[in-house]
């Protein structure tokens, strides 16, 4: 065989081996980390990780896992799935004592077994196969304790619709509601030397109630810091402010009242003395002054403030004065 042919074949063989080696290294260099699906707190997230420990995977993803939480490993068509089962608080009640525990188990019976609490399946409420929920009360009956239940009507809930076209204080029934049905579960606890004590431990809804719909009159009424109040008329007035520090006053109003917040100087011909009113931004007040020498005239009011700064900050402004009452 000619020498140049042999050299050519060797060159081709080396080139093929180089391509194979290079391709292998390239494949290894671009290999992706395994895909893992995390399910937690009602959400789902897909991550890539080289970690195998489930808790480490969650930690790497920035998801806190409590000591009592449980992680279940499953498989899916998309890859490995890690499902985080959060531990929830449960309250175990026996006699007059109760203790709070955390469990990641699915049922009442499994939770009690995990907590090493002995129980008779027939003497536990709710039943051992009941799903565990947040803060569920698990009652273990002692000797002599009994359970009883009775069906009862629940209250008819009411939905109010405020209506400015109906006078304040009046109501109109739009739709009659209907009581629901509930099962009330009671436990009778027997203690040595004491009379049996009956306590309600659960209330199960058997039928939802139907709302009554009522139109509630708010006509001629205004919302105040003390609740909704009925008014008879509205006066638009210019409001200024004063305090005992604004002059050389005696601290008493023109009709002998002690000047304090809630006292308003008025023109008695417009707003009679002792009239109760509501002024937005100031509050509920009483007409109890006329200003120095009867200075307040016409549609003006002068509001007592607790400090000079408050009086200055109020300045002068137009307000709507709600005259309260019928």
Report the CATH number that the domain containing residue 262 is assigned in CATH. Answer: 2.40.40.10
Residue 96 is predicted with a pLDDT of: 79
What are the respective helix, strand and coil percentages of the chain, to the nearest 5? 15, 45, 35
- Point out the domain boundary residue: 216, 241, 267: 216
Strand 79-85 to 70-76 pairing: antiparallel
Residue 1 is predicted with a pLDDT of: 52
The answer as to whether 222 is a domain residue is: no
Residue 23 is predicted with a pLDDT of: 47
The answer as to whether 257 is a domain residue is: yes
DSSP bridge pairs for 139: 93, 125
Q: What is the CATH number of the domain that holds 174?
A: 2.20.230.10
Residue 138 is predicted with a pLDDT of: 95
Residue 37 is predicted with a pLDDT of: 84
- Residue ranges of alpha helices (H) inside 152-235 are none
Residue 58 is predicted with a pLDDT of: 93
Domain count, the chain: 4
The answer as to whether 3 is a domain residue is: no
Q: State whether 241 and 318 are in the same domain.
A: yes
Q: State whether 65 and 110 are in the same domain.
A: no
Handedness of CA 242, 243, 245, 247 (dihedral sign): positive
Q: Residue 107: which domain range?
A: 88-142
Residue 170 is predicted with a pLDDT of: 93
Q: State whether 238 and 307 are in the same domain.
A: yes
The answer as to whether 54 is a domain residue is: yes
Q: What's the pLDDT tens digit per position in 151-181?
A: 999 999 999 999 999 999 899 999 999 999 9
Handedness of CA 7, 11, 16, 18 (dihedral sign): positive
Q: Distance between CA atoms of 7 and 37, rounded to whole angstroms?
A: 54
Write down the number of H helices and E strands in the chain.
4, 21
- The residue among 94, 116, 93 whose CA lies nearest residue 103 is 116
The answer as to whether 271 is a domain residue is: yes
Residue 12 is predicted with a pLDDT of: 59
Question: pTM of the predicted model, to two decimals?
Answer: 0.57
Q: State whether 76 and 106 are in the same domain.
A: no
Residue 95 is predicted with a pLDDT of: 82
Q: Which residues of the chain register pLDDT less than 50?
A: 5, 21-31
Q: Distance between CA atoms of 187 and 163, rounded to whole angstroms?
A: 46
The answer as to whether 116 is a domain residue is: yes
The answer as to whether 26 is a domain residue is: no
Q: Distance between CA atoms of 38 and 32, rounded to whole angstroms?
A: 18
- Residue ranges of alpha helices (H) inside 158-302 are none
Residue 292 is predicted with a pLDDT of: 77
Residue 9 is predicted with a pLDDT of: 59
């Amino acid at each position: 065989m000619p020498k140049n042919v042999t050299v050519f074949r060797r060159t081709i063989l080396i080139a093929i081996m180089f391509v194979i080696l290079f391709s292998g290294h390239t494949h290894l260099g671009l290999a992706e980390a395994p895909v893992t699906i995390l399910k937690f707190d009602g959400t789902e997230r897909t991550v890539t990780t080289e970690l195998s420990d489930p808790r480490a995977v969650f930690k790497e993803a920035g998801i806190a896992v409590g000591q009592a939480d449980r992680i279940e490993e499953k498989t899916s068509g998309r890859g490995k799935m890690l499902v985080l089962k959060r531990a929830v608080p449960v309250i175990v009640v026996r006699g007059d004592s109760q203790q709070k525990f955390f469990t990641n188990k699915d049922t009442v019976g499994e939770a009690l077994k995990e907590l090493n609490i002995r129980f008779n399946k027939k003497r536990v409420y709710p039943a051992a196969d009941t799903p565990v929920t947040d803060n569920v009360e698990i009652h273990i009956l002692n000797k002599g304790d009994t359970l009883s239940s009775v069906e009862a009507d629940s209250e008819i809930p009411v939905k109010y619709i405020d209506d400015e076209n109906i006078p304040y204080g009046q109501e109109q029934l739009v739709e009659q509601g209907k009581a629901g049905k509930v099962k009330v579960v009671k436990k009778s606890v027997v203690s040595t030397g004491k009379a049996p004590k009956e306590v309600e431990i659960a209330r199960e809804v058997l039928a939802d109630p139907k709302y009554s719909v009522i139109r509630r009159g708010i006509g001629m009424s205004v919302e105040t810091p003390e609740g909704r109040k009925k008014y008879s008329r509205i006066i638009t007035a210019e409001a200024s402010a004063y305090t005992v520090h604004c002059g050389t006053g005696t601290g008493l109003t023109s009709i002998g009242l002690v000047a304090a917040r809630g006292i308003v100087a008025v023109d008695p011909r417009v707003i009679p003395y002792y009239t109760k009113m509501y002024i937005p931004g100031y509050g509920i007040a009483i007409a109890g002054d006329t200003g120095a020498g009867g200075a307040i005239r016409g549609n003006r009011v002068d509001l007592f403030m607790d400090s000079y700064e408050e009086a200055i900050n109020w300045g002068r402004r137009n307000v709507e004065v709600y005259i309260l009452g019928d």
